[in-house]
């Protein structure tokens, strides 16, 4: 069997491509502007190496904050345009405010407008080209599933939601044929004997094995997969793909082989990483508490009219190694919101006051928790600290729930920036998957990603 080579781009490749071409398009726009329109503020030359590097860094950082590298949003031109305008507005503002490492303001102030408009036009032009060329069906990844019929619908919907560039060609039932077996009409089914021909005819890029039990794979199918593997064909297990695409640990598929899924990051025990993390926590908390002092008069004033009660709110939470600590927050709910019993917070919760909604969506209600960070009870980044009542309830319902307590809870975290507030067991399961992914892949780069995504949450007023 000779497989026909096809071109497709992985998620990471598409994100890198967006970043690199954004910078090149910005430089190309500046080149045209300076060559044909007498633009003097910035030119593409060796003398401007530092200003050009600074511009590239600003575009990359603020592009992350304003989500212009989010693949779901990049596929929508109207959303992309809005994000690009916000991003370039911030880029140009910061660029003008750092004249030590960027050019001094030009005498003709209109050149700033040319600079700003050029960045928007050329970066957006690249988004149009990206959607027309790179994100087109010709570059989709053609996937064939090996699975029981009962699993197909779930695995297909999960990958389709996570990455629109997957094209599902069909599946092969991993269980031996029986007279009364279940049929699945949502995807074309192929026979085991046709596997080699399917790969050639359908230009399959990858086979994903999504069986709940490897013992379910029939003998004939097993031999066919072995032959493909020996010839270098790409065959992957579904949980591996799930974690890579969704950035979550698939605990719903974890059984007795749980130890395979939790080779936790070495950084959890890395003394140097932990030292720098604690140093960052202390420094960031110091500035956070200075900010707290500055905003307290305004929050207190809003509290008088919008909350009508105590300014601060304290509550017991579970910390590292399941130890109890008292968390500090600005109060966002009515007084005695849980007079009868503890209950989940929900979307549009009637207990949240008008001013409390503002504090939550802007994330200002979390600012007093810098006290907990400074005391070492929390970190800037980590799983959200939960209340003992809910921890006990969720631990009974969700496997591995208390695993999230092996590190300090955080002000923000991978779960907080990727999912909504956990107001049910199902939503808490999703948040746990993100928390375990962070614990498993914890690193300075992931921490930086979380910080930038947190800034996106604040900028877009998405706090809950």
- Over residues 117-165, the pLDDT tens digits come to 999 999 999 999 998 887 766 778 888 888 887 778 888 888 887 777 7
- The answer to whether 452 touches 444, Cβ cutoff 8 Å, is no
Radius of gyration over every alpha carbon of the chain, rounded to an integer in angstroms:
26
The whole-number pLDDT of residue 181 equals 57
> ∠ at Cα 150 (149, 153), nearest 5°?
85
For 130-152, give one letter per residue: b (16+ CB within 10 A) or e: beeebbeeeebbbbbbbbbbebb
Question: What is the value of pTM for the model shown?
Answer: 0.83
Encoded tokens for 95: 């660029």
**Percent of the chain that is helix, strand, coil (3-state, to 5):** 60, 10, 35
Residues 6+ apart with CB under 8 A from 209: 145, 146, 147, 174, 217, 225, 235, 236, 237, 238
pLDDT of residue 437: 92
CB within 8 Å of 387: residues ≥ 6 apart:
315, 316, 317, 318, 342
* Residue ranges for the chain with pLDDT beneath 70: 1-9, 136-137, 176-185, 255-261, 263, 337-348, 421-423, 461-464
Q: Which residues pair with 236 in a beta bridge?
A: 208
Asked if residue 184 lies in contact with residue 153, where contact means CB atoms within 8 angstroms, the answer is yes
Q: Which of 32, 19, 30 has its CA nearest to residue 127?
A: 19
Rounded CA-CA distance 295/122 in Å is 39
Residue 326 has phi, psi (to 5 degrees) of -100, 125
pLDDT at 180: 46
Topology of the domain comprising 140-246: Rossmann fold (3.40.50)
Q: Look at residue 24 and give its three-state secondary structure.
A: helix
Where do runs of H (alpha helix) occur along 4-76?
Answer: 11-36, 49-65, 71-74
Q: Cβ distance 147 to 209 under 8 Å?
A: yes
Task: Name the segment(s) of the chain with CATH classification 3.40.50.11060.
Answer: 140-246
Given a contact cutoff of 8 angstroms between Cβ atoms, the answer to whether 353 and 333 are in contact is yes
The whole-number pLDDT of residue 91 equals 95
Two structure tokens written together for 173 = 């039932």
384 CB contacts (<8 Å, ≥6 apart)?
A: 409, 410, 413, 415, 416, 422, 431, 435
**What is the reported pLDDT for 407?**
93
Q: Name the DSSP class of 236.
A: E
């Amino acid at each position: 069997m000779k497989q026909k080579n096809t071109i497709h781009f992985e998620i990471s490749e598409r994100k890198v491509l967006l970043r690199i071409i954004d910078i090149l398009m910005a430089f190309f726009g500046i080149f045209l502007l300076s060559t044909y329109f007498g633009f003097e503020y910035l030119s593409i030359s060796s003398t401007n190496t530092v200003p050009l590097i600074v511009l590239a860094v600003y575009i990359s950082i603020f592009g992350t904050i304003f989500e212009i590298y989010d693949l779901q949003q990049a596929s929508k031109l109207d959303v992309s345009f809005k994000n690009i305008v916000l991003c370039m507005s911030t880029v140009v503002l910061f660029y003008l405010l750092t004249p030590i490492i960027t050019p001094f303001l030009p005498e003709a102030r209109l050149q700033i407008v040319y600079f700003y408009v050029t960045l928007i036009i050329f970066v957006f032009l690249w988004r149009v080209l990206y959607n027309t060329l790179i994100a087109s069906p010709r570059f989709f990844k053609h996937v064939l599933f090996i699975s029981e019929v009962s699993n197909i619908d779930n695995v297909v919907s999960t990958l389709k939601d996570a990455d629109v560039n997957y094209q599902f060609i069909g599946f092969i039932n991993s269980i031996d044929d029986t007279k009364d077996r279940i049929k699945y009409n949502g995807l074309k089914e192929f026979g085991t004997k046709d596997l080699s021909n399917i790969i050639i005819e359908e230009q399959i890029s990858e086979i994903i094995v999504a069986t709940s039990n490897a013992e379910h794979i029939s003998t004939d199918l097993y031999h066919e997969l072995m032959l493909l593997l020996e010839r270098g064909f790409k065959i992957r297990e579904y949980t591996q793909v799930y974690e890579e695409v969704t950035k979550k640990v698939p605990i719903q598929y974890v059984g007795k082989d749980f130890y395979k899924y939790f080779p936790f990051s070495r950084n959890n025990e890395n003394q140097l990483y932990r030292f720098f993390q604690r140093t960052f926590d202390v420094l960031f908390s110091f500035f956070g508490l200075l900010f707290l002092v500055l905003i307290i008069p305004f929050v207190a004033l809003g509290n008088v009219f919008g909350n009508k009660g105590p300014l601060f709110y304290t509550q017991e939470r579970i910390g590292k190694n399941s130890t109890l600590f008292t968390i500090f927050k600005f109060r966002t709910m009515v007084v005695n919101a849980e007079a009868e019993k503890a209950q989940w917070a929900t979307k549009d919760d009637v207990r949240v006051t008008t001013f409390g909604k503002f504090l939550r969506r802007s994330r200002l209600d979390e600012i007093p928790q810098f006290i907990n960070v400074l005391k070492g009870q929390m970190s800037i980044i980590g799983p959200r600290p939960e209340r003992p009542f809910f921890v006990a309830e969720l631990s009974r319902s969700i496997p591995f729930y208390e695993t999230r307590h092996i590190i300090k809870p955080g002000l923000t975290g991978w779960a907080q920036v990727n999912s909504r507030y956990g107001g049910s067991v199902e939503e808490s399961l999703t948040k746990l998957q993100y928390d375990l992914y962070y614990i498993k892949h914890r690193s300075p780069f992931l921490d930086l990603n979380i910080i930038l995504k947190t800034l996106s949450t604040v900028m877009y007023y998405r706090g809950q």
